[in-house]
Amino acid sequence: MFDWGWKFPSPTQTLQAFYDGLVHGELLAATLASMIRLLVSFALSLAIGTTLGFLFARYRLLDDTLGFLVVSLQTIPSIAWLPFAIIWFGLNESSVIFITTLGATWTMALASRTGIKNIPPIYLRAAQTMGTGNGYKMFVQIMIPAAFPHLINGVRTAWAFAWRALVAGELIAKGAGLGQLLQDGRNLGDTSLMLCIVIIIAVLGTVSDHFCFKKLEDKVLERYGLAGSKS
């Protein structure tokens, strides 16, 4: 019979690993390093993805060509790009940021594309009548708020995808990070440390989604009178 006793750590062992990691500072250092990488990558993915989605929604030719390619790229796990990242950038920070950015960009592009395409045409015509034009002001003042219900869903999904890609990249790349600490735990056979890292990732992801993105969603939907339409 398979012995689970030494394979899965007890709550006491996990708490001890958490305490030891805090005392020695390795957990805080790894968490800080991972969060910096995550925030940089997430900001890049939001900027790139939203821009791509806007272009796909506005230009039929791009949507029929590059838009189709983005749908295909979304089905590819970001970890599949890791060998390319290692060849192009080496085992360093750039590889992790590249992988993490890819993990969230395609989701954000498709969400923003859907959101902008579903904007009621009357909103755009009314804005043009009032002199907004078709440029930057139209995008920022009309399209972004009108597409926000789709955008915020894309942001929340992209955040989760970015976390997955980040940890996968850190398992291979050199340097401090939760993924690398998880790999160290595997090399040492320290399952309590491994479970501790998994719990930290889950808590950080859940807390950030609930207290940041969900709060932002509620406030903006209320501001634009869309709170009643939220599912």
What proportion of the chain, given as a percentage, has pLDDT over 90? 11
Per-residue pLDDT, 228: 54
In a domain, 211, yes or no: yes
DSSP, residue by residue, 2-23: ---TTTS--HHHHHHHHHHHHH
Is 1 contained in some domain?
A: no
What string of DSSP letters covers 58-89? H-HHHIIIIIHHHHHHHTS-GGGGHHHHHHHH
Q: Residue 71 falls within a domain, yes or no? A: yes
CA atoms of 191 and 28, how far apart (whole Å):
19
Render pLDDT for 53-67 as a digit per residue (tens, 0 to 9): 888 888 888 888 888
Question: How buried is 152 (Cβ within 10 angstroms: 0-12 exposed, 13-18 middle, 19+ buried)?
Answer: buried
Residue 147 domain-assigned (yes or no):
yes
User: What letter represents residue 202's amino acid?
Assistant: A
Q: Which two tokens stand for residue 53?
A: 């989605």
Give the C-alpha separation, 36 to 212, whole Å.
17
Q: Are 172 and 82 in contact (CB under 8 A)?
A: yes
Instruction: Answer yes or no: is 9 within a domain.
Output: no
Q: For residue 212, what is the enclosing H or E element? A: none
Query: What's the total number of domains in the chain?
Result: 1
Residue 196 has pLDDT above 50, yes or no: yes
Q: Note the pLDDT tens digit of each residue in 30-89.
A: 899 899 999 999 999 999 998 898 888 888 888 888 888 888 888 888 888 888 888 888
Domain that holds residue 170: 24-226
CATH code for the domain of 44: 1.10.3720.10
Taking 60 as the threshold, does the pLDDT of residue 219 lie above it? Answer: yes
**How far is it, in rounded angstroms, from Cα 37 to Cα 39?**
6
Q: Which residues, 6+ apart, have CB-to-CB distance to 173 below 8 Å? A: 86, 91, 92, 93, 95, 96, 179, 180
